Amino acid sequence: MQSRLPILIFAALMAAIPFVPGMPPFWIVLLDNIGLTALVAMGLVLLTGVGGLTSFGQAAFVGFGAYTTALLTTAYGLSPWLTLPLSLVVSGLLAVLLGLVTVRLSGHYLPLGTLAWGLGLFYLFSKLEFLGRNDGISAIPPLSIGTFRMLSPGSIYFAIWVAVILSALLTMNLLDSRTGRAIRALRRGHVAAEAFGVHTPRAKLLVFIHAAVLAGLSGWLYAHLQRAVNPTPFGAQAGIEYLFIAVVGGAGYVWGGVLGAAIVVILKEVLQSYLPLILPGSGQVETIVFGILLVALLQLAPGGVWPWLMSFLPERTAGRKPDTSLKLEARPRPPGQSNVLLQVEKARKQFGGVVAVNNVSFEVQAGEIVALIGPNGAGKSTTFNLITGVLSASSGSISVLGRKVDRAPPQEIVKLGISRTFQHVKLVPDMTVLENVAIGAHLRGHSGPLASMLRLDRADEAKLLAEAARQIERVGLADQMHQLAGSLSLGQQRIVEIARALCVDPMLLLLDEPAAGLRHMEKQQLAKLLRDLRDGGMSVLLVEHDMGFVMNLADRIVVLDFGTKIAEGTPATIKTNPEVIKAYLGVAA
């Protein structure tokens, strides 16, 4: 957990600013605008920078928040404090609606989709009679507490910055939790997150709602600062600008959103006030200069200004070690040792004209190590994908403990106690090893997003991190626990994936080329670990090209060639099988 001390210092600073003698009122106006913009940008950080969902439509949600309170306080005389939850609920509900249609889009279609609703909603705001069409709604009451009416920019300043700081805290709490790890995994694609039980459409919808509620909060504050609303600030152009702000500040960082807002609001103001003095009569030239400056800034700090600034601080590689005495509940095991854990029967997978897996059958018993070998392109990884539900078989069937799981999605397969690693490592590089591994325990935790934001998840969280730490120690990476996963060697990253898979408390572990990139000593340690796991009752199915490693480790070997099983047996029989020698091992083996 990160220290919250810097936030307290920041909050104290912001609280002191209005009391600085001689503070120009104009600066306070500027800070109000920065705060309002920061709220929207913070939502985009979560949505775009962390979740990988690009949205050009965020300004529309500011509009929902602003128009909700504008309408209800003027036409129906409701108190602004009563309309606050309503503004947030309206923004949130519309995010569910727009999110449900948009989040399933991928690639370029998602940003285009958000742009489309950004444009559409702008026209809706400007055409609806009860929202005042292009003139909007005016005479909105100010916020007030008792007889204190927040009429000046200096008085609503506190409301705005309390909102910014609380939102930053809640957002950071969310990111630093079970749900937050699921959200942060989204950017690396669905496959890895889903393999550990994350319901990715739900996680995406959640960030959509979170971002929309923050935008709605900004809109609510805006309406009571300006005391009038019209459609202009809620159009697609504003939506593009918000995204830009998040990117300039550093789209992966909550404080990047705040910093980006400060940079852009101040830069715009400076250009608007000083450029006409340098270049009189030049009209729109500030827009051009503004654009050039921002592009230059992004050249200097391509990941955004916040991470660029942070890179000057010493890197944190140490952290608090979780209390490993805390335990999660273990999976109930079926009695007896002679169970057929996994049964693959005539599984077939065709990609167009290529038959990647051709009527392959084999079994894995409880407590044995089975190796799946064969030349590149033989269909080994595809077989893994069929077993784990990433792909569904064209025909044939797959059963786990006698139960058919042919059509089950990855989230259901992992619940049955089957976990895996990937041939092409799928870790989140800018998360620590500990955080990455904890994703493996996702299904063994229970805390939801609200509990996480309010820090009511700490007991649950401590157990998840304890489990992750224990598995990291077990695979021998205790010293790297607090390093970013992306900074490890590829071989070590494969081992991190094994620790993540072990966090599932699996009955069957599927390892796709786990020894690739490991040194001799590391391979021996891995072999020892896998033997220990087997002796503890776990089954392992592994794909590996290092024949020395496989022959010494496996109880049984299944050989694939061009998608077809050509042999199965003990290492001794496979070594001497003429067909296997011809297809894969070669004469030298």
The enclosing H or E element of 144 equals strand 144-145
Nearer CB in complex with ligand ADP: 123/351: 351
Per-residue binder mask for ligand ADP (CB under 6 A), 53-92, x = binder: ----------------------------------------
Strand partners, 360: 347
Interface residue with ligand ADP, options 377, 448, 569, 571 (CB under 6 A): 377
Strand partners, 561: 564
Q: Does the protein bind ligand ADP through residue 249 (CB under 6 A)?
A: no
382 near ligand ADP (CB under 6 A): yes
Buried/exposed code over 548-587 (b: 16+ C-beta within 10 A; e: otherwise): ebbbebbbbbbbbbebbbbbbeebeebeebeebeebbbee
Select the binding partner of residue 81 from Mg ion, ligand ADP, none (C-beta < 5 to 8 A, by kind): none
When the beta carbons of 420 and 442 are compared against ligand ADP, the nearer one is: 420
Closest approach, Cβ 559 to ligand ADP, in A, equals 11
Element (H, E) at 167: helix 153-175
Q: Are strands 395-400 and 340-351 parallel, antiparallel or unpaired?
A: antiparallel
Q: Tell me, what amino acid is at 299? A: Q
Piece of the chain touching Mg ion by CB under 5 A; list 177-185, 315-323, 374-382, 547-555: 374-382
Number of residues forming the site for ligand ADP (CB under 6 A): 11
List the single partner that 382 binds among Mg ion, ligand ADP, none, CB under 5 to 8 Å by kind: ligand ADP
Burial class of residue 195 (count of CB atoms within 10 Å of its CB; 0-12, 13-18, 19+): buried
326 and 466 in contact (C-beta within 8 Å)? yes
The sign one gets for the Cα dihedral 317, 320, 323, 327 is negative
Strand partners, 349: 357
Q: Which residue type, as a one-letter code, is found at position 8?
A: L
Centre a 10 Å sphere on the Cβ of residue 96 and count the other Cβ atoms it contains.
12
Residues 398-437 that bind Mg ion (CB under 5 A): 423
Cα–Cα nearest to 478, from 507, 499, 458, 506: 499
Stretch that binds ligand ADP, among 199-207, 375-383, 456-464, 514-522 (CB under 6 A): 375-383
Measured from the CB atom, is 15 or 516 closer to Mg ion? 516
Pick the piece of the chain touching ligand ADP (CB under 6 A) from 136-144, 151-159, 185-193, 373-381. 373-381
Q: Rounded to whole angstroms, how far apart are CA atoms 455 and 440?
A: 21
Question: Smaller CB distance to Mg ion: residue 245 or 425?
Answer: 425
Rounded to the nearest whole angstrom, what is the least distance from the CB of residue 351 to ligand ADP in the complex? 3
Residue 377 binds what, of ligand ADP, Mg ion, none (CB under 5 to 8 Å, by partner type)?
Answer: ligand ADP
For Mg ion, the closer CB: 397 or 423: 423
- Stretches 132-140, 271-279, 377-385, 567-575: which one binds ligand ADP (CB under 6 A)? 377-385
Smaller CB separation from ligand ADP, 479 or 579: 579
Partner interacting with residue 180 (select from ligand ADP, Mg ion, none; CB below 5-8 Å by kind) = none
Work out which of 178, 224, 380, 534 binds ligand ADP, going by CB under 6 A.
380
Instruction: Using the minimum distance from each CB to ligand ADP, give the nearer residue, 18 or 409.
Output: 409
Long-range contacts of 328-337 (CB under 8 A, 24+ apart): 328/441, 328/444, 328/463, 328/464, 328/466, 328/467, 328/505, 329/444, 330/505, 331/417, 331/505, 331/507, 333/507, 333/537, 334/366, 334/401, 336/366, 337/366, 337/367, 337/537
Give just the sign of the alpha carbon dihedral 69, 70, 75, 79. Answer: positive
Q: Which of residues 93-152 bind Mg ion (CB under 5 A)?
A: none
Q: Nearer Cβ to Mg ion, position 380 or 523?
A: 380
DSSP one-letter string for 110-133: HHHHHHHHHHHHHHHHHH-GGGTG
Paired strand residues for 348: 395
Residue 510 phi/psi, 5-degree rounding, is -105, 120
Residue 142 contact among Mg ion, ligand ADP, none, beta carbon within 5 to 8 Å by kind = none
Shortest CB 385 distance to ligand ADP, Å: 7
CB 432 within 8 A of CB 423: no
Q: Which of 401, 406, 426, 425 is nearest to 507 (CA)?
A: 401
The mark string for 323-362 relative to ligand ADP (x by CB under 6 A, - otherwise) is ----------------------------x--x-x------
The answer to whether 376 contacts ligand ADP (rule: CB under 6 A) is yes
Residue closer to ligand ADP (CB basis): 177 or 388? 388
Minimum CB–partner distance for residue 361 and ligand ADP (Å): 17
Please say whether the beta carbons of 158 and 16 come within 8 A. Answer: no
Q: At its nearest, how many Å lie between ligand ADP and the CB of residue 362? A: 14
Can you tell me which of 48, 87, 358, 381 binds Mg ion, judged by CB under 5 A?
381
Minimal distance in Å, beta carbon 360 to ligand ADP?
Answer: 11
Min dist. Cβ of residue 372 to Mg ion (A): 10
Confirm if 422 and 510 have CB atoms less than 8 A apart.
no
Q: Does 564 sit near ligand ADP (CB under 6 A)? A: no
Element (H, E) at 51: none
Q: How far apart are CA 569 and CA 368, in angstroms?
A: 13
Q: Which stretch binds ligand ADP (CB under 6 A): 175-183, 264-272, 310-318, 371-379?
A: 371-379
CB 518, min distance to Mg ion, A: 17
Partner that binds at residue 462, options ligand ADP, Mg ion, none, CB closer than 5 to 8 Å by kind: none
Q: Give rounded-to-5 percent helix, strand, coil for the chain.
A: 60, 10, 30
Task: Give the number of other Cβ atoms within 10 Å of residue 279's Cβ.
Answer: 12
Residue 445 interaction partner, one of ligand ADP, Mg ion, none, beta carbon < 5-8 Å per kind: none
Return the one option of ligand ADP, Mg ion, none that residue 376 interacts with (CB less than 5 to 8 A, by type): ligand ADP
Pure H helices in 326-457: 380-387, 410-415, 433-438, 449-453
Stretch that binds ligand ADP, among 74-82, 109-117, 128-136, 369-377 (CB under 6 A): 369-377
Give the nearest distance from C-beta 387 to Mg ion in angstroms: 13
Of 91 and 358, the one with the shorter C-beta distance to ligand ADP is 358
Applying CB under 5 A, which residues contact Mg ion? Answer: 380-381, 423
Binding-site ranges for ligand ADP (CB under 6 A): 351, 354, 356, 374, 376-382
